[in-house]
Amino acid sequence: MRLLLGIWLTLTTCTACAQVILRGQVVDAETNQPIPNAQVGVAGNRIGTSTNADGRFALSIPTQYQREQLEVALLGYRKYAQLLPSLPGPELRIALQISPAALGEVQVTASVLGIVREAVARIPRNYPVRNTRLTGFYRESDNDPTGRPRYLVEGLLTVFKDPYPQRTDEGAVQIRQSRKVDLRPQTLVRVDWAGGPFIAHKADFVHARAQFISPAHFRHYDYRLAAGSTYADRRVYVIEFNPKRGNRRADFAGRLYIDQDSYAFLGAEWHYTLAGLRSGLHRADSRALRVAYQPYAGRWHLKTVWWQTSYRPPVGEPLQYFGEFLTTAIDTAGISQPTYQERAQYYDAFLHNAVPYDSAFWQTQTTLLRPAALEQALDQQRQQRADSLFRPRAQQVPAAAEAGVPPAAPTSAAFRLLSRIRYGAALGAWPLAVPGATLALDYAPAGSGFRAQSTRNVAAQSLTGWWNAEYQFDLTPELAVRLATRRLFRQFSGDGWEAGLSYEHNLNPRRRPLFGRAGLAYTRQAVARSLGTFENASGGVRVSGTTLNAAELGLQLQSTFDAVQPKLGLGLELSHKIELVADLGYLLPLRSRTQLVLSEKSGFFLTRSSAAIDLPSPAVSLRVNEQATATVPWQQRRWLLSFGLLYRLR
């Protein structure tokens, strides 16, 4: 084992020797203040990073790029470029000059909105018309009010882009490697961000034709030409867009940067308006984005995304999400989409992804600069593996503790149980054969002074609708215990329940999972027809040992049906947490009974009582189509069909 570790460390050291670290700080040339989020690239942005809040960056430079040009760019500043200095060396200090206003040099021959329209019309000319694959570095964090990360997750992604003439904000994302540090305490209620790696699609405003560049929404915005500048050594139109006065349909406000020669969108920065924050499913307190594009092979491709969201959930601490994507490589030839199993799913929290972590992998990858304590905590797995070979078990100390970073709490039994829980809802058709009939009922319990007489028509039907809420607990990956509650609707009402076992087997293991489903359950269902509400003037009606004192009593004619239900079905995974299911069941009857149900209709809702009388009863006279009987006119059939969704908690 020592020999193997020595060989591994030697190989790791050799890999590191082939690269050197370039460190630097980017500042404003006039104010000497650090500039965050400046884009730092080498060799035409084949590798790159961005500056942190202190304007600093650290970039691993492979041998083949150590004679290439270093470039630093940010909207509003002149592009900085020079050959890389001799490495290793001291930290570079790079001062960026503000781009002078160039409005007087711009010859505007059309309206400002006309410039935007022309840029939209030229998207097929300026952006990829074939499938494209981007490799990029992604980071997300949730920060507390002081700016300290509660957790930090980083990953190397492969992003698959459809041709830009096709308007879409969807696409595949593949996680190649990832790592994380989670400093949050374990609690039963915790909100995690989902869909973070997909900002490379969701924030690509050109590909998505965001509202502020969509001709269908131009009437909601005011566009005006701001002081011009250069970006990436190109002359640009700087166009500000804001909602028109009094307009509540414009979701955004911000700036566009459009190349004066090609009319390509080089970038944009915007935030959500109050209307935008209130629209859609994902509401937030604030949301701001910044996106830039870069040229490659005659087309413009996504370069960087910066996304920040503040959200105050109903339960728990306020959330400060920060996400960043930086493209490090572009491929436009022979792109094939990954299989379903290889793709990340939008509703999976990146914090929980199961891609294995290999600390040695990161020595050859571009990273973004982070605090030293988090740097040490991220490598705790590697340190612990080495310690376990040479240190007695009683002396082992987690690397995170050595670094002064509180270790993440171990996963509790409660969280392990939560990972096995699924819940969902379903709709179906309850097989009930109902002929048209007239019900006439007379109920007069002896000695109570209460009497109810009712006549109701029952419409003919062959099916009645139902919905249910269900819960599953996975005993194994394929076998689960299932409990469901059910309620009928249409002209009948009635509650029911179902309990049993469910088995699933993946019939399509290499692509999107398609499950074969089988189950066995015990079910009980009540089918009731209302007969009306009646005054209880005398009070104190006693039914089957229950006294009903309310001023009004409701009556229902009800049949209750017990059965064993085998079922077969299919399930289709829509995401790693959501499954669409369809089941066909067959009811094997065990017993049934007919009852008259009385329930209190007034009084405080927590104290309302109900009672049932089994038919036949001397106090109840029931006639169906003028014929005396003790049974209901509807008949239970056997086949049961349902469709629903199942959601996994974790």
Instruction: State whether the Cα torsion 488-491-494-498 is positive or negative.
Output: negative
Query: In 3D, which of 61, 74, 96, 5 has the Cα closest to residue 366?
Result: 61
CATH topology classification for 19-96: Immunoglobulin-like (2.60.40)
Residue 637 and residue 587: Cα distance in Å, rounded?
A: 8
At 4-29, the pLDDT tens digits run 334 334 434 444 445 688 899 999 88
Is the pTM higher than 0.85? The answer reads: no
Tokens of 436: 């048209």
What CATH number should be reported for the domain whose range is 420-648? 2.40.160.20
Asked if 357 contacts 381 with a C-beta cutoff of 8 angstroms, the reply is yes
Locate the domains of the chain by residue range: 19-96, 117-369, 371-410, 420-648
pLDDT over 80 at 442, yes or no: yes
What is the residue-wise DSSP string for 260-292? TTT--EEEEEEEE-HHHHHSSSS--SEEEEEEE
Rounded-to-integer distance, Cα 549 and Cα 552, Å = 8
Are 565 and 541 contacting, i.e. CB atoms less than 8 angstroms apart? no
Averaged pLDDT for residues 196-204: 95
Residue 339: is its pLDDT beyond 70? yes
Q: Among the listed ranges 368-382, 549-563, 601-615, which one has the minimum average pLDDT value?
A: 368-382
**Which pLDDT band holds residue 50 (cuts at 50, 70, 90)?**
confident
Tokens 């190109």 correspond to: 234
Q: What is the pLDDT of residues 282-319, one digit of tens each?
A: 578 899 999 999 998 889 999 999 999 998 877 777 88
CA nearest neighbour of 290 among 317, 269, 316: 269
Between 519 and 99, the higher pLDDT residue:
519
Q: Say what percent of the chain tops pLDDT 90.
A: 47
Residue 97's pLDDT is: 87
What is the overall mean pLDDT for the chain? Answer: 83
- Judged against a pLDDT cut of 90, whether residue 590 lies above it is answered with yes
